[in-house]
A and B are shown apart, each in its own frame.
Chain A
């Protein structure tokens, strides 16, 4: 069985696919890191006034 030599077009397509894949993967890692930074930094906490309101609503 013989293998045909890969055409330059296939190499270029493969490069494009790998490039886009890496960009998407980096984007996911960035969003994950951003989420962790926001959550641990307290940016995602509910304002205290709303927390009180939510508690009283729950009790009432």
Chain B
């Protein structure tokens, strides 16, 4: 966006299509699309391609809607934090009430359409996910407890479970493990970010662990949650979604992730500031790869199974 257009936008106060689209947090939506699609494709049973496409799309719209509700409620703290200050509502491009209207409308639409396209279990899980993210996390936990990320992380963990429910109409050990993988991955991923973005949360008064308990405790928590994450990740290899490919990938990634968490744990602030949080930033980048490759491996197992290669 050019400076000129930005100035005009401020004068007219009218948002463009891209500004409304940004309300739906497209980057989060892309992760939701990927994990929900993997959950759906890894599940036993065939789903018509159009039904699968529509279902994943409605799951993504539901996730985007909860993002818009989050932007409506958090406009005040988003404006204070550097990372979020340019979001459409704090930037003054989109009205907060518009964000609420778009979020609420798309939430209802996504749940109803998912129920029509697939089944009530999937739609119920999507409705619960939206409620959990918008109400339990955004309105309640985020400003109240330093464990906000831990419990709120559940909202981001539901998409593969919803995808699985689209195909099977239910919940199983495999879908719970995919949920647990994202759920246990979220705290170390986010706390690593907090370690090098601490001032942002402090300025906004968000009780992140780094703000309430300090960085030493946060470093310990990153290592502890990573240790708990390992058996979840490796354990999934021995279920219907796993196989030799997944197991190999999981062993390598968990070794790297554990080493990264250990490196974070043994450092102090002086060391971190000296190299501008290089280790923490590298761990954060690795965490993104960790989740993407895990779900990529689940997808590979599912795709190769018909050829006699995937699975055990």
Contact = CB atoms under 8 A, between A and B. Distances in A.
Are A and B physically bound partners? yes
Interface of A: 7-9, 12-13, 15-16, 18-20, 30, 33-34, 36-38, 41
B110 to A, nearest CB: 12
B14 A13 contact: yes
A60 to B, nearest CB: 34
A37 B17 contact: no
Interface stretch (B5-13, B180-188, B239-247, B266-274): B5-13
Contact of B50 (A8, A12, A33): A33
Given A9-B8, A15-B16, A37-B51, 12 more contacts: A9-B12, A9-B14, A12-B5, A12-B9, A13-B14, A19-B17, A19-B18, A30-B54, A33-B54, A34-B51, A37-B50, A41-B51
Contacts of B15: 12, 16
B contact residues, range: 20 to 34
B14 A37 contact: no
Given A8-B8, A9-B8, A16 B16 contact: yes
Nearest to B12: A9
Interface string B213-239: 000000000000000000000000000
A40 B54 CA distance: 16
B117 interface: yes
Contacts of B117: 34
B48 interface: yes
A37 B55 CA distance: 13
Q: Identify the 8 closest CB pairs spanning chains A and B, nearest first.
A: A19-B17, A37-B50, A12-B16, A37-B48, A33-B50, A8-B8, A16-B17, A34-B54
Contacts of A15: 16-18
A12 B54 contact: no
Interface in B163-179: none
Given A30-B57, A34-B117, A12 B51 contact: no
A33 B21 CA distance: 24
A36 B50 contact: yes
A20 B17 contact: yes
